[in-house]
Every structure is written in structure tokens, then in C-alpha cells.
A and B are shown apart, each in its own frame.
Chain A
């Protein structure tokens, strides 16, 4: 069974600060996805990273896939209260056809 360790589990910071969330595994994934989930809703895809070393930017969010495709990070610059939510990383072994392996999530709170 492939496992994804996500850290930190909880993070509460002030508006304007920067933060990084980590997702680590001993397994290699064909791709890794980051989702954001609001309370009472299903996860919504933010980004998919496929190539080792790949970096993708989504406004103030920067996603990186490790060179060996075993880990990933999400960096948020100048966090805003609207960034509050549950962030999930998920690894795909065969393009996701067999389902995704999810990390346990990072609960992020940005205080005004």
C-alpha cells in the first residue's frame, strides 16, 4: 500500500505570512495532485504535477514535484483569509485509474 505523509496537519498563521505544506512518500507516483476542500463540500482540484522537478504556479500558490516523483510541496505567498481550507495531496499510481492515494490533509487557517 502506498502512503502519503502530509505535514503539517494543522497550521494557523496571520494574513500576509508565507507557508509551505509538504507531502512525502517512499513510493513513486506517476503524478501528484493537490486539492482544496471547503467544509461540507467535495475536494476541488488545484493542480496536477507530472514531471519530476516540475514547478507550477497558480497565482500566489507554487507547487513543486520532487525530482524522484516521491514528494511534493505547496507554497503559499502572502496568505489571505480566503486561502483557509483543507489542502489534500493525492498520488496517482496509474494515471489515477485505480483511484488516488490521499494524504491526511493540512487544515489551514489564515487569520485576518
Chain B
């Protein structure tokens, strides 16, 4: 079974703190993604990565950065957390090279509350 794990299910942080969200997948997938999910807005793509040390901005990258030092691990970083970054964060991975909609496997999500 493909497994995507996220380091925390719930996090509470204070405004201005630096926050690290970690995601690990065990299927040797090339592509990894970070989304945030908010009521009424659905899932929105923050950043994604094709390969180690490569990153691409998604639709809403402002206030976030990412790191991909190893193929299996993709980290989302909030340099200075703000209350509007309170959200559910979802990591996903997919194998590259398929011509059509390869399955994206999602982690269980991290629910972040910024006070």
C-alpha cells in the first residue's frame, strides 16, 4: 500500500513562529504536492516538486516555502505564521511519467491553528 505520512495531525502555533510541516512518502514517487483546504474554497495548490531540490509555485505560494532534500520527503515551511494560514494542509505524491491522471495519494492532513 502506498503510504503518505504527515508529521503532525494537529498543530497549534503563535503568530510569527516558524512552522515546519513534514511529508514523507514510501513509493519512490517523483512528484509531491502541498495543498491547503479551507471551507468554501476547496483544495488549493501551494507548491509542488518534480524532483529533489526542485520546486514550483502553485496557485497560492505567498507566505510559504518548501524544501525537497530527499526524494521521499517534502517539507512546507511557514517562515512567519499568520492567522490567515490557519487551515488543513494536505500533502500528496504521484508517480511521474504517466500520460493521464495518475493517482495522487494524499496524506491524512495536518490541521494547523495559528493564534
Smallest distance from the beta carbon of B111 to chain A beta carbons, Å? 8
- B84: interface (CB < 8 Å): no
A30 to B98 Cα, complex, angstroms = 11
Residues on A with C-beta less than 8 A from B4 are 42
A44 to B107 Cα, complex, angstroms = 9
- A103: interface (CB < 8 Å): yes
Smallest distance from the beta carbon of A72 to chain B beta carbons, Å? 12
- A97: interface (CB < 8 Å): yes
The contact of A40 among B45, B50, B109, by CB within 8 Å, is B109
Q: Are B108 and A42 in contact (CB under 8 A)?
A: yes
- A43: interface (CB < 8 Å): yes
Smallest distance from the beta carbon of A69 to chain B beta carbons, Å? 11
The contact of B43 among A30, A48, A96, A102, by CB within 8 Å, is A102
On chain B, the number of residues with a Cβ less than 8 Å from chain A's Cβ atoms is 33
Given A42-B4, A99-B48: A105 in contact with B42 (beta carbons within 8 A): yes
Within 81-112 of A, Cβ neighbours of B (below 8 Å) are at 88, 90, 92, 95-100, 102-105
Residues on B with C-beta less than 8 A from A105 are 42
A96 to B44 Cα, complex, angstroms = 14
User: Which of B35, B100, B103, B106 counts the most A-chain CB atoms under 10 A from its CB?
Assistant: B100
A35 to B111 Cα, complex, angstroms = 19
Q: Are A50 and B101 in contact (CB under 8 A)?
A: yes
Residues on B with C-beta less than 8 A from A98 are 48, 56
Residues on B with C-beta less than 8 A from A96 are 31, 94, 98, 101-102, 104
Smallest distance from the beta carbon of B62 to chain A beta carbons, Å? 15
